[in-house]
Structure 1
Amino acid sequence: MVDTRFYTHLGPFPLGELLSGLDVEYDTASADPIISQASPLQTATQNQISYFEQKRKQSQLNECGASACFVKPNNVSMVSGFEVVPIISNHPRADFARILDRLYTAKTCLPVQENEEFDDVKICKGVVIGQGATIGKGTFIGPNTVIGPGVVIGENCRIGANTVIEFAVLGDNCLIHNGVIIGSAGFGVAISATGGVDIPHLGLVRIGDNVSLGSMTAIDRAMFGETQIGDGCKFDNMVHIAHNCKIGPHCMFAAQVGMAGSCVIGAGVLMGGKAGIADHITIGDGAMLSATASTMHDIPAGEVWSGIPALPIRQHMRQISAVRKLGKKKNS
């Protein structure tokens, strides 16, 4: 469910009204269910709408209890066995994105919450705090920082200047350096006949206790659900964590680590500067990724990988040695 601390729910709507103006088809004679929420396929329940686009995700249909579902014309037979109204669309993900703005709207920082409402919190000049935000005792907030509506900040945190925190829940004793952005929408774009369609992100960011985030770090909120940063994580400057990633406790990332969406990172993982991780990658507990390494494959627990594309470090070193030997033979 979408968190009402951060979003206003605009529904429910009859399905026909919700789909008004979209280039889609559905059997109006069979049903016109009331749609109250939107949800991913595997978590959708009655009176919710979802979408199905990729055949490799067919197994998620078994968990789907949605009342309506966007589906491509050639995939209609795959949903016919379920109690769901198929909405025929050439671009199911794009049309799903379009109706999200009809079901929800993000809350804004207006009206502003007065700083005097917070006990034992030091707030510098230029700080903007949205309605419903809660800030724990002993916390310091630097100049020109924005705390969005509904945001929760724990006790004894230090928030630097020119930082933006929205759609987020932070634990205790967090150190957020200057210029950090927490809770922006992730990079989600659906392809349609008229070009790219921005996908609204309706989730949040959850950050544990004793977390440190370096300057200019960006952590995107989830499309649905949560982007999670575990207790005790320490990130250098300019680290980027994309939507729906789940980072285990006590991970340490050097500067410019970049991670695409929906990655799952175990406990105590170390990453060198400029390491890159493709989307939907899983990295096990205690693994290490060397500086500038870029992986498109899962990394088992405890292993050390390096290179582009990343490989187990011993294999990578052998490849480098073999290439050097080839170069010597050619020059001799």
Structure 2
Amino acid sequence: MENNVLKIIEESGSKGPKYESLVKIFKLYEQLQYATNIKHIAHDIYYWLNREFKIDNMVFTLFNINKNEKEDIYIEGEHFYLDDEFSNFFIINTDTSINATVSFRAISKVHNKIIQDQFYIIDAAFHLISPIIQNGILKKNYIESSSIDSVTNVYNRSYLVEHLNKHLSLTRNKQSQIYFLMVGIDHFKAVIDEFNHDIGDIVLIELAKVIYSNISEFDIIGRLTGDEFLISLFSAEYEYEVNSIAHKIIADFAQTEIIVDEKTNQILKKTICIGIDKHLICDEKDISETIKNADIALYEAKNKGRSSLFNYKDLRIEDTIDLF
């Protein structure tokens, strides 16, 4: 890659094709100076490829060499296979344990020939921007280490509340209310006592998966305490929608089989309860009060029995108990 950059510089004595190649490369470099995160970087790379090379699809992936894991950061356009004759694949070395890959597919044989003729330009550009991608990866890792729960890969409590407060201020003129769902596992301590913390972690991970599968990309989930998760439903406008989502989460998790012992095929099934409260954005009430109410509703749901749902608005005065 570095040799390709030098080659272009050496051959760009005049404002000819080589000079134009340099312009293309440094347009991308300059554009990425304003990128705020790794997804923004990937987005800008796609638009550069689209503008300069007429690419209409791209997959930007981070690959962890140590863990042999990949994470798709940005996907644009129709699906394609890497072994397709018109597919192109680049590895961007970041000098860390995580490398970035960029892949895309030409739309025709002629288009692919044009890309192959200018392959060295793309290659050189990706070499030039590798430090920017490295910084994006480091920033992503830092944010996740301070904001993401290490077991379930959802937001932790402190970051969730901070993020919610910022989000509420932005949606004040667009949305009137938000529903909060407090989710708790029935008799979670019994899992730890009967098995161990590793099995407990698996239960938490499976619950997070079930929750994710039932909410939209606009909703937010965080882990508050040992077995409690808070869901912020920005996508649901009506109470019947909220109840439907909550019941679906309860039902799906009740059917989830958790493998305890692979040798004996021993499985574990657990249940959850959910408490609900509604936060009025125009209200002066602090968001922490709504979260507290959802937790009280969860307590009441657990009093009803396994797989129960309870709405804070249905709480009677004689049932009220100070939990905090």
Work out which of the two has the higher radius of gyration on C-alpha atoms and give 1 or 2: 2
TM-score above 0.5 = no
Kindly indicate whether structure 1 or structure 2 has the higher relative contact order, using CA contacts under 8 Å at least 6 residues apart: 2
**Is the helix fraction higher in 1 or 2?**
2
Task: Tell me which interval the TM-score lies in, with the shorter structure as reference length.
Answer: under 0.3
Q: TM-score, normalised by structure 2?
A: 0.26
Q: TM-score, normalised by structure 1?
A: 0.25
**Is the strand fraction higher in 1 or 2?**
1
